[in-house]
Amino acid sequence: MTEDTLSAWRRAQAVCFSFDNTVTENDTLDLLAQHLGLGPEAAQVAEQAANGQLSTQDSLQRRLQLLNCSPQDILGFLDQHPPATRLAPGVEDLVAALQARGIVVYLASASSWELTAPIAQALNIPYAHVFADGMAWQETEAADGPRLVGFTRHEAASYASPQAEAVGKLRDMFPYQTLAFVGSGTTDLEAAQLAHGADIFIAYAGVVQHEAVVQGSDWSVRDFHEMARMLKKHKVACIGSGAWACAAVRIVAYNTLHNDPRDEFAKEVTMWVHEEEVNGRKLSEIINETHENVKYLPGVKLGDNVVATPDLLEAVSGADIIMVCVPHQFVHGICKQLQGHVSQDAIAVSLTKGMRVRPEGPQLISEMVRNYLRIDCSVLMGANIAQDIASEQLSEATIGYTILANAEVLKRVFETHYFYVTMVPDVAAAEMCGTLKNIVALSAGFVDGLAYGPNTKAAIMREGLQEMRQFCKALYPTVRDETFFESCGVADLIATCYGGRNRKVAEAYVKALMTDHPKTFDELEAELLHGQKLQGVLTSNEVQEVLRKRGWQDDYPLFTTTNRIVNGRLPPHAITAYRDCGIDGFDYPERADNPTSSQDGARADPLAVAAREREAQSK
């Protein structure tokens, strides 16, 4: 087998199997003849065909005349020869492996539909993917009841054999770029060699071997398991090494090593690390030596099969599943570096929560990846607090997809006994939820810092979810309402508003103001997140820019109020008055006793004054 043949096999979009002596361990009509006690006579006809004394069509007609069976005979044959006794070894596993990769499987049978359908059902091949003719019956005076007299063509015959007809129709009906045909006989080889035949012909010699067929094939095999082993194994690479990236890589590394029943994934998982020094050593070297990211996810073993590298192109070399999990402001530059260095057979999945704001409008991270790398990009979003997932607490996520087959592969990459994954055909809503919930988390953090109770927080979260949905629909009218009830929607919002980094920093921001020692969000990010990035403030500014340019500020009072608080235009306790404070042009009343608390003369938040007043009243 040449490299070109192997490459064609691995990128095949459809595989058509011949039936007799390929999918089955025998010629079905010969087996039926044996069942009827006509084995020697059928063997003689077969020998004449093999010697060239009879054509394939004449041989088939002779055997049908010889059989002369009734419908009851066929039912009796199927009872005594169920599919499990007729299948060639390994064909079930091969078909399952092909279908698992989204490769469409077909059957082309010279035996009848009635004898082929049970095998197709056993292999989970839809009846619509079976090319076979039905049995034709005729009443005769010499027999009780109808007798088999031939086959009934479902459609006008334009080819000399069902195999050739199958290949021709597949070429006419579907734009498969790579079609593989697997068979054992001369008619199979001829079908593959049509003017518009199969791209590769694989001779299966596990039941019978015809030298001319083997010589004319692109690849000859005696074991279907060999064909399954030669299917491309998906190699996974992760761009990013923060806490969430490491938690996700840990799941993937475990699944590729221990939870891969189809043997479809390469064991090694590469991870691109933005190189930095930790205690005088390179972070990538520490990860490869200890299998732990001691800075961003300390105390958690990622897996011995995770290989860290500071070289971006090395990380994605040979990978056909690329995880993107870096702060969203860095994705554009990374995509530009990767252009021309990613396999066009690869698929991507974004775990990044954010969006890019451009003069012509916002751009989703998945759109950016798709446009720059020219590959399909799904998203994985949900209630994903990294430390909880790393400690194997029950968690879940949603894959938003465009191509179902790719989503199914990603689901097998990520899902495990503590990490549930659902799929929705709604990339935009899933991704926008993951982006916008960080703004609401800031609002929730302000509420926590003010020490307000669950009623207030619930009201803020409800309004936040409503504005998330409204904003998504305004930008992407096709988003589905049900997506907001998935993990990527309401579940992620709840988790982030109670346990996320944006909530944590926003709470600290308020408390710092209350102690008369205000700190900026940048200062708090450095102090509390240990190198991780705070996405909510940047996202709030980006979304507000979209609202401003489109004149939508008044339509999103919570988003607008939160952004004004973030930028010092409003005090944090204005969050509870978002219905008024979010109106464009609203002038929050200033207090005469507002002190200044910074060297540049910026006025302190009135919250500090209110806190002192409450303290004085309590005394």
Q: Which residues are catalytic?
A: 437
Task: Please state, in angstroms and rounded to a whole number, the distance separating the CA atoms of residues 606 and 619.
Answer: 20
Residues near 156 by beta carbon (within 8 Å), at least 6 away in sequence: none
Written as six digits, the tokens of 178 are 């790579």
Sign of CA dihedral 53, 58, 64, 66: negative
For the chain, the straight-line distance linking the first and the last C-alpha, in angstroms and rounded, comes to 89
Contact 532, 243 (CB under 8 A): yes
Q: Is 48 exposed, middle or buried (0-12, 13-18, 19+ CB in 10 A)?
A: middle
Pairing of strands 277-278, 265-272: unpaired
Task: Please state, in angstroms and rounded to a whole number, the distance separating the CA atoms of residues 240 and 369.
Answer: 15
Return the C-alpha torsion angle 365, 371, 373, 378, nearest 10: 50
Task: Return the closest-CA partner of residue 556 out of 568, 545, 547.
Answer: 547
Per DSSP, the three-state class of 135 is: strand
- Backbone φ and ψ for 134, nearest 5 degrees, come out as -80, 160
Contact 236, 256 (CB under 8 A): yes
CA distances from 427 to 229, 302, 314, 367, 488 (A): 33, 28, 28, 10, 11
Contact 8, 26 (CB under 8 A): no
DSSP state of 13: S
- Backbone φ and ψ for 315, nearest 5 degrees, come out as -60, -40
Residue 266 sits at the vertex; the CA angle it makes with 265 and 272, to the nearest 5 degrees, is 110
Return the C-alpha torsion angle 279, 283, 286, 292, nearest 10: 110
